[in-house]
A and B are shown apart, each in its own frame.
Chain A
Amino acid sequence: MDKKLEPIVKIIQEKFGAGLEEFRDEVHLSVKAGQIVEALTIMRDEFHFELLSALTAVDYWPQANPRFHVIYQLTSLEKNLSAQIRVSLNGSSPKVGTVAGVYASANWRERELLDMFGIEIEGHPDPRRILMPEDHEGHPLRKDYPLGYEEPQFTFNFDEIDLRKPYAKE
């Protein structure tokens, strides 16, 4: 761990009872879902993490509790540091508070979580789907959502698949 990061990690651990994991010099802190807005506000205002580099989620299906981890990757330009904060959510009703008030870029990233993982974002200013069509059913990046693989046509099965293909009319 970077020397400059140690005091920050310590404060976050004390204040939120955060868990700590390290891997290849990266720091992963985990806090509870209710604490995330406060934790990010502190990271931004007190420790100069100005940039929310990435906001995404991981689906651990079929594991039910916790099923999702929401990941907030933060970067400090001033001190040249990175830190990751994780929040774990259960599978039955995944819900996390919005951080769009802390980082404006979270607005679209959280819409992506809503669209792709079906994670409910509480208090989001614009909770619409972002990438998929509005009427799409299901959340594609969930592990129980099928890839949608279609069998490729080879010589032996060309005709058989060709019959099934919904060709467009003039």
Chain B
Amino acid sequence: MAQIEEVSLDKFKHLVSERALTGETMLLNMGPQHPSTHGVLRLLLELDGEVIVNCIPDIGFLHTGVEKNMEAKTYQKAEVMTDRLDYMNTMGNNLAYVMAVEKLVDLDVPARAQALRVILTELQRIASHLVWLGTSGLDLAAMSMFLYCFREREQILDILELVSGQRMMTTYFRPGGVWRDVPVEFEKAVRDFIKIFPKRIDEYETLLTKNPLFIDRMVDIGYLSKETALSYGVTGPTLRASGVDWDLRKARPYCGYEQYDFHVPVLAEGDTYARYLVRIEELRESLKIVEQALNKLPLGPVRSDNRKFVPPPRSEIGVSMEALIHHFKLWTEGFPAPKASIYSAVESPRGELGLFIEGDGGPKPLRMHLRTPSFDNLGVLPEIVKGHLVADLDAILASIDIVLGDIDR
């Protein structure tokens, strides 16, 4: 096993200020094991007393080789990898992946499957924001937030388990639809959640939004301007808190998002507090979408009946020779995709989650690239922490809501 190399200043000479070379400022290593870095992120800080002069992120401690591994699998099998990227948003990752594959092979999805996809991704978005709220509360010493948020998150995970059999790694969406129809208990479970959750959001807001300690730590901290955000490729709630109205669900509706009535919260302040408010508002909007989608959930099949890409139902295999052949072909060889490339993106809780797939005419992709939102969102961190105190770094890092699995892939 390799040893940890000693860091010499020479390597970072071009990234730190001249004062660091004379020893006037101090270099401090934060992470990769640190409670407030939300995973295995290493930050090299140049400090003038308590004030951050420069911040150099070092990533790759969770580099998993997902892209290379996906290129070695067929289109159906590669989907399990997407769950484990951004592990707060597994349904959303599945959605991004299946939509990309459907675009590549030109496959239609039935209306019921589309509506189910919307319900489940929005629930997952709520779960993801709850983890963010809980852990960022924890970073600012609001311990009870963590306990409250995880209480509600468990309820969502129960719904996910109900439909897919797994709490986190669902792999429920498949190219051409979803794995199977939802059980009858699904509707009641979601309705129960819709009923209690608005009150719970009010509860969180009572604890935090007007709390003077919380406001002191958040307002005017980590200002991110519109221009910087766009130049650094920042997307999602972080971008919307800087005054840019850009949400792929509105701008380029997919899965029938155009049918639902919701608004995209945008704030112009661009500080940590604005990012907090945007996400809290998104919780309410997501719940609105879930309710509408559930109210008009259409009946019908949940999978495309294009047998070249979607395996036949189990019941058909026993009676139809063709179905058996299709099943066999699909699970041994997979389906071929055209020799062309596509880029398809969805709005994940963290921003634009895009997939670039280039097929080579066979059942395995030639190139699979994941454009993960946290990667670019973290890139802007050095810009926005400059001039703040070390203690503010916690608040800022929590407010851009990074997931290391999403960054390192």
A residues apposed to B, CB below 8 Å: 23-24, 26, 28, 50-54, 56, 58-60, 71, 73, 75, 77, 80, 82, 84, 103-105, 107-108, 125-126, 128-135, 140-141, 145, 147-149
B residues apposed to A, CB below 8 Å: 2, 5, 11, 14-15, 59-60, 63, 65, 67-69, 72, 103-104, 106, 228, 230-233, 235, 244, 246, 251-252, 338, 340-343, 345, 352, 354, 356, 358, 366-367, 369, 371, 375-376, 379-380, 408-409
Is the pair B68, A140 in contact by a Cβ cutoff of 8 Å?
A: yes
Measured CB to CB, the nearest residue on chain B to A136 is B2
Q: How far apart sit A77 and B240, CA to CA, in the bound complex (Å)?
A: 12
B5 partner residues in chain A, CB cutoff 8 A? 134-135
CB < 8 Å: which of B72, B104, B235, B366 contacts A147? B72
Q: How far apart sit A149 and B71, CA to CA, in the bound complex (Å)?
A: 13
Write the nearest CB–CB distance from B264 to chain A, whole angstroms: 13
Measured CB to CB, the nearest residue on chain A to B376 is A105
Please name 16 pairs of A and B residues whose Cβ atoms are closer than 8 Å in the assembled complex, sorted by A. A23-B341, A24-B103, A26-B342, A53-B352, A53-B354, A56-B367, A56-B371, A77-B230, A77-B244, A77-B246, A77-B251, A105-B376, A131-B60, A135-B5, A141-B68, A147-B72
Q: Which 7 A-B pairs have the closest CB atoms?
A: A105-B233, A131-B60, A54-B371, A56-B369, A58-B367, A104-B231, A131-B63
A26 partner residues in chain B, CB cutoff 8 A? 342-343
A-B contact count (CB 8 A): 101
A128 partner residues in chain B, CB cutoff 8 A? 11
Is the pair A104, B232 in contact by a Cβ cutoff of 8 Å?
A: yes
Known: A73-B354, A107-B379; 12 extra A-B contacts, CB below 8 A, are A24-B342, A53-B233, A53-B354, A77-B244, A80-B251, A104-B232, A104-B380, A105-B232, A105-B379, A131-B409, A135-B2, A140-B65
The majority secondary structure among interface residues of chain B is mixed
Is the pair B2, A133 in contact by a Cβ cutoff of 8 Å?
A: yes
CB < 8 Å: which of B14, B103, B338, B371 contacts A53? B371
Q: How far apart sit A128 and B67, CA to CA, in the bound complex (Å)?
A: 20
Is the pair B366, A132 in contact by a Cβ cutoff of 8 Å?
A: no
